[in-house]
Amino acid sequence: MPTDYRFSYDPGTIVYGRNCVERISDELKRIGVERALIVCGSTVGSVDEVIGPVVDGTGDRLTDVFDETTPDKRLSTVFEGVERMRDEEVDALVSLGGGSSLDIAKAMSVVAASDASSDEIRSTFERERTVPIPETELTPIAAIPTTLAGSDLSAVAGVTAREGGLTRGALIDDRLMPNALFYDPALFETTPHEILCASAMNGFDKAVESLYVRNATPITDGTAVRSLRLLGRGLPRLGDGDRSEETLNDSIIGTVLAQYGALGAETLTPSVIHSFGHGIARGYAIQQGGAHGIIAPYALRHLFDTVDGRRNLLAEGLDVDEADTAEETASAVVEAVTAVRDALGLPSRLRSIDDLYESDLPDVAADVADDVMMENAPEGFEPTEDELEAVLRDAW
């Protein structure tokens, strides 16, 4: 870790507690909002136990529900959402559900503020893999997560387009940080077991990676170590089907800490595991959390074979007993991460992905090498595409 650093992070207001969504209208009032649009997927929008409390909590500030988001996070969905914003004269967005809905909401806030046409925005995105963010005020966002992916306290959004082939891109700006975030255990209880467990691996890996990235700071060290302690305790119980208040608290608060300070516009700590996860999940039929579960032990093993990876600090967070050698510490860390993956009931081999073939692995390796998060890898870790492919083959 560098002896000097600059840490810049401006998170939104965090509201935590059972039934805290009853206070959405109060927080919207604090930021001067009059007309809010809920942004969610069709499944979330059809589950009364989820959408009902949010509608009630938004109260008379609610204009409509845009329930068209999908895990693909398509730019075309963004354009449809912006049309709804303009029709309803919306001055705030309330994102409900997983990270896909929040990413779409963030992109909607950017496109709604832009003077460019949809065709111009799409053309720029396909060429530069981003949407230019205008130097003007963006539509504020209140985020209400129902998964544990850890993409909430974030100044980053990912979107895709399929004009002439799949294009994946990202938007990064401090103004994309949600203005308010509501963590309501009652809503997490409604999320299907498999979805919640898969998302949890994504959040867990953010804490793991925050400790070995090249831009780690004492601040992110502190939140990440505490996160691993809570998640190491809560996620195995969650995987067993335990949804007690204690288990949900450990899992939700641990996920908040995993991303706190890790996803600002200036400091991004997702790294090698996330790059592998992006390369696997964005092209094939598996959630990113499931992809993380498969690849994390193999990626860590390769990392530790190349650099120290701050394995002692990882061992501290994962509550691993002190080992006699550095190699034993690395092995214990990998075993601890694998144990969390297995407790969550996630797949352990790439061959379990229905539409992924072994012949696809060179292309996946190229995507991993090209992923923006690889830039955060620790000093001295510069894998070639062949080395990345070897990791994928180990995981096959």
- Residue 39: strand, helix, or coil: strand
Question: In the predicted model, what is the mean pLDDT of the chain?
Answer: 94
Can you read off the two tokens belonging to residue 370?
Answer: 């090209």
pLDDT of 164 above 70 = no
Using a pLDDT cut of 70, give the percent of the chain over it.
99
Distance CA 21, CA 16 (A): 9
Average pLDDT over residues 165-183: 91
pLDDT at 298: 98
Structure token digits, residue 381: 């870790």
pLDDT in tens, 139-148: 999 999 999 9
Does the global pTM surpass 0.85? yes
- Quick check: 311 and 327 in contact, CB under 8 A? no
Of 299, 292, 301, 294, the closest CA to residue 331 belongs to 301
pLDDT digits (tens, 9 = 90+) for 13-37: 999 999 999 999 999 999 999 999 9
If pLDDT is split at 50, 70 and 90, which confidence band does 9 have? confident
The rounded radius of gyration (Å) of the Cα atoms in the chain is 20
* Ordered domains of the chain (ranges, CATH): 13-187 (3.40.50.1970), 193-395 (1.20.1090.10)
Could you give the percent of the chain with pLDDT greater than 90? Answer: 88
Residue with tokens 């925005």: 121
- State how far the Cα of 109 lies from the Cα of 341, in Å rounded to an integer: 35
Q: What is the pLDDT of residues 45-82, one digit of tens each?
A: 999 999 999 999 999 999 999 999 998 899 999 999 99
Q: Answer yes or no: is pLDDT of 219 > 90.
A: yes
Residue 388 binned pLDDT confidence (cut-offs 50, 70, 90): very high
Q: How confident is the model at residue 2 (pLDDT cuts 50, 70, 90)?
A: low
Residue pair 271/307 in contact by the 8 Å Cβ criterion: no
**Residue 254 CA to chain centroid, in angstroms?**
14
Q: The tokens of 303 are what?
A: 């990392």
pLDDT tens per residue across span 340-368: 999 999 999 999 999 999 999 999 999 99
Answer for the pair 205, 292: CB distance below 8 angstroms, yes or no: yes
d(CA 247, CA 90): 37
CB-based contact 251:238 (threshold 8 Å): yes
